[in-house]
A and B are shown apart, each in its own frame.
Chain A
């Protein structure tokens, strides 16, 4: 009997066999035990890598994004539902991001105009330092949104930031049409995470929460000394670096304790609860990204990606 996955015939770059294998393994995932699923998930990722290589050869990047998103959803949901131990879904997100960058470069997203406006304004002669700083922050935020779009395989300018509302005090939120749970928040002031996106994943009872730090220009990542009480809760020792998932968790503890009732304060509390809860159920992802002016355009770099 010829068994074993490697004996399948190759289909000459069409990717047929690896896709078939992915589909079969995804089905297997729904029936497996925790230990069995660990091996299955590892195979799925290997097959996804093969598939991505095959499709990249014929520039079919959109296909890679589609399949990577499907794989991510399945791996995330299986884990959130308690049937998979390791965060394989993040590898699917990385594969997705690679293809997305080639498929939809920044100028092809809805962030293009925002980016161009910020870059042109920043190039103005004799610009005030304070203004340049805030433009660099905007460029950093655009970089974060683009890099996170790539990881999610969705142009976020067409989804969560499309109906964003400025709440004042540099808080910007977005919710589904007709209201409901927060899906996006930018925070301006101290004791907050910079930016957060919360997305529903099909088949998962828990949402995927991405919290992050956006950096503009050459500004560095700092470290915070957390109160001693925090090591008692998060089981970490200070200092906590700003480009780490633990940093997001420390900020969430401040954010969820917000007592105010203004829209910005309510959004702050809700985001804190979302990040904090995700932090205890291993459904939190941290992304740090940087953007800077380069010629007449801007760069975007994903500098840190961390999951639990």
Chain B
């Protein structure tokens, strides 16, 4: 249908606009991280950091969408500069540490990764069923730690939350796919990971298309550039791919929401 083609084209244009405007809006964010960190220490509160991070995650998503290596690296470095400090000093709730944990799993320093995993773990029992980012963090922490038992328990818990309709329809579909991939990874061999990553991309595209559809119809949507980057899937993809012999590892597709190779290379390479 020609309308559909037009729609795809204009959707692409809207996404580009979302990404470029986020870059423009938050260009100074990575440079402000030092101040936010000092500010948080002075005030003995994590809030100044979280406040700045809300701009930073959008900036990072935009840089990823535009495949702007330099800006992505600046954003990842801004996270890396404080990940360990906030985990150790403030022990924030697991859902807050998702970007840090994912970046650490995608090739970040091992020490930071250990600290983050520990911080998430200590609070595992307090994660609410409605908190899906927190549950993703718990599962990723288990997988990173090669703790199969807790990973399986975390997967079962999130599946239960999905069944209990804690999330809306599109979110649930995304999560169920993510859980399939997580289970493969937890088994220590994930031969189908490339296919599952492809499915996750389709789920992400569905979520984004839904929001853009609202906008196109003149409705309101709060979609931001942060939705253009799926760090938990990227982390999962990296963990899954690492279970395979290198000859069998497939490169993520171009245009993926979770291109773990590009992210690892841009952030830490």
Contacts and interface: CB of A to CB of B under 8 A. Distances in A.
Interface in A197-239: 226-235, 237-238
A308 B222 CA distance: 22
| Closest A-B pairs by Cβ, 6 of them | A280-B55, A191-B220, A253-B222, A85-B42, A85-B39, A82-B35
Contacts of A237: 95, 128, 130-131
Contacts of A38: 42
A233 B56 CA distance: 9
Interface in A19-55: 34-35, 38
Interface of A: 34-35, 38, 82, 85-86, 190-191, 226-235, 237-238, 249-250, 253-254, 257-260, 273, 276-277, 279-282, 308
Nearest to B95: A231
Contacts of A281: 32, 51-52, 55
A85 B226 CA distance: 27
Contact of B98 (A85, A232, A259, A282): A232
Contact of A34 (B38, B131, B220, B221): B38
A112 B131 CA distance: 48
B226 A232 contact: yes
Contacts of B25: 273, 276-277
B171 to A, nearest CB: 6
B53 interface: yes
B221 A254 contact: yes
24 contacts: A34-B35, A34-B38, A34-B42, A190-B220, A191-B220, A229-B222, A229-B223, A230-B222, A233-B57, A233-B224, A234-B54, A235-B53, A237-B128, A253-B224, A257-B18, A257-B223, A257-B224, A258-B220, A260-B218, A279-B51, A280-B55, A281-B51, A281-B52, A308-B51
Contacts of B39: 34, 85, 282
Given A82-B35, A229-B223, A308 B48 contact: yes
B52 A280 contact: yes
